[in-house]
């Protein structure tokens, strides 16, 4: 884990005005990871970009943080000075532990947020598709997924209504309670948009779906018996609905104050996008109530108090699984020595067999089986001792002893 590192920013020390400037779309993420691989010869990397954080995890024995930071600034066209003021860095086991906590929702603005686990899974799948997930990252991610399963089964970290989408729906329920025949428009049908839709489905309201790819909206509308409107008809959508939820991915706002007349009837606008898709100048329009991701998150405090009680148990699970991952990593470190020892003993066996040329083929075949069995029994104890030494943090000493006893380095060099 020594070469595993992470750098990035999150809601904890970075305002939304900065976070939205360094949010990566799926395509941008792919392009950035390929640049990372090409420019810095990095073989393992993971980019997690959500509304609350943008973080890059990578394996490198050399210090690449400054270069990667400069690449982010260039790629996203943001001042390196501004970016540097908000960046957190993690090295070695800290980076692995941080990724555990991020994926399990322990670092989320909404504690225990279940969406982050799916977002990390997609980031991992992207890394795998780009051949940027090696043995270390594969093992780490699957250990994290197992830890998440334990957290769900053994704790209450994900109990209650605490996701941004569900909180948005609670806000909508309160707003439309006194409206006769309320009309709701949902713009953007990605994961967050569909999550909102699932929560809205039981509400007595007319729901209209709007999506850049209309076929996706049509399919969802057919399944749930809802209406669809063209993305190009946003003015009509804004005019005809009491509630507008925007979960669309856009580099700049798609709706601003100019889209509304001053005599607009009271409307609720909810912006679930980062970068924000609803311009902040909407706050000055009479009759409009505007909420963004950070504001919605503040409304999750009640659910948070229940979930906070599970933090110690969740952190215990993280430590247990992280320890198991560390043991695997240490064992991987001694695997070359184990293989060299097997090669050395097997070479001795072959040389001894070669001396007995007068034996028949049947006798040689039997002797080959017997000597292989003997080698397996001889090597069993050193291997067990090496693995035990790994757990005690003493593997290096035993590796040196085995190298000296069997002259492993010289034997391997001669073999080559």
Segments in 132-265 forming alpha helices (H): 135-154, 164-176, 191-200, 214-224, 234-240
Give the largest Cα separation in the chain, rounded. 107
Neighbours of 251 (CB within 10 A): 11
Proportion of the chain in helix, strand, coil states, percent, rounded to 5: 60, 10, 30
Pairing verdict, β 88-91 and 227-228 = unpaired
Q: Which residues pair with 158 in a beta bridge?
A: none
Angstrom distance (rounded) from CA 255 to CA 307: 36
Nearest to 341 by CA among 283, 279, 281, 415: 415
Identify the active-site residue in 51, 165, 268, 341.
Answer: 51
Angstrom distance (rounded) from CA 317 to CA 148: 9
Q: What Å distances lie between residue 180 and 175, 176, 183, CA to CA?
A: 11, 8, 9
51 is catalytic: yes
Q: 316 near 323, Cβ under 8 Å?
A: no
Residue positions annotated with a catalytic role = 51
């Amino acid at each position: 884990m020594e070469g595993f590192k992470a750098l990035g920013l999150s809601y904890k020390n970075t305002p939304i005005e900065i976070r939205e400037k360094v949010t990566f779309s799926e395509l941008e993420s792919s392009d950035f990871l390929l640049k990372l691989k090409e420019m810095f010869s990095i073989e393992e990397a993971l980019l997690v970009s959500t509304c609350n954080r943008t973080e890059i995890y990578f394996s490198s024995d050399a210090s690449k943080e400054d270069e990667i930071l400069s690449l982010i600034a260039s790629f996203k066209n943001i001042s390196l000075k501004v970016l540097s003021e908000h960046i957190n860095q993690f090295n070695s086991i800290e980076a692995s532990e941080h990724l555990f906590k991020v994926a399990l929702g322990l670092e989320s603005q909404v504690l225990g947020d279940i969406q982050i686990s799916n977002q990390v899974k997609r980031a991992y799948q992207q890394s795998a598709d780009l051949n940027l997930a090696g043995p270390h990252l594969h093992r780490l991610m699957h250990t994290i997924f197992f830890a998440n399963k334990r957290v769900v089964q053994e704790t209450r970290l994900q109990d209650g209504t605490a996701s941004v989408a569900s909180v948005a729906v609670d806000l909508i329920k309160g707003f439309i309670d006194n409206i006769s025949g309320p009309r709701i428009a949902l713009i953007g049908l990605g994961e967050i948009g569909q999550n909102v839709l699932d929560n809205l489905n039981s509400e007595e309201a007319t729901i209209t779906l709007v999506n850049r790819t209309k076929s996706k909206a049509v399919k969802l509308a057919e399944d749930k018996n809802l209406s669809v409107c063209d993305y190009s008809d946003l003015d009509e959508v804004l005019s005809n609905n009491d509630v507008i939820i925007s979960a669309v991915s856009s580099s700049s706002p798609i709706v601003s104050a100019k889209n509304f007349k001053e005599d607009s009837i009271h409307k609720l606008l909810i912006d679930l996008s980062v970068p924000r898709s609803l311009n902040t100048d909407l706050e000055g329009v009479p009759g409009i109530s505007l909420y963004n991701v950070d504001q919605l998150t503040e409304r999750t405090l009640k659910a948070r108090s229940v979930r906070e009680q599970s933090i110690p148990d969740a952190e215990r699970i993280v430590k247990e699984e992280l320890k198991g991952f560390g043991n695997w990593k240490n064992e991987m470190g001694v695997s070359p020595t184990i293989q060299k020892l097997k090669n050395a003993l097997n070479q001795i066996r072959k040389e001894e067999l070669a001396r007995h040329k007068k034996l028949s083929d049947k006798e040689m075949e039997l002797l080959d089986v017997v000597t292989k069995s003997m080698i397996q029994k001889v090597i069993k104890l050193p291997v067990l001792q090496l693995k035990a030494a790994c757990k005690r943090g003493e593997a290096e000493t035993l590796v040196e002893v085995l190298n000296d006893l069997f002259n492993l380095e010289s034997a391997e060099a001669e073999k080559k």
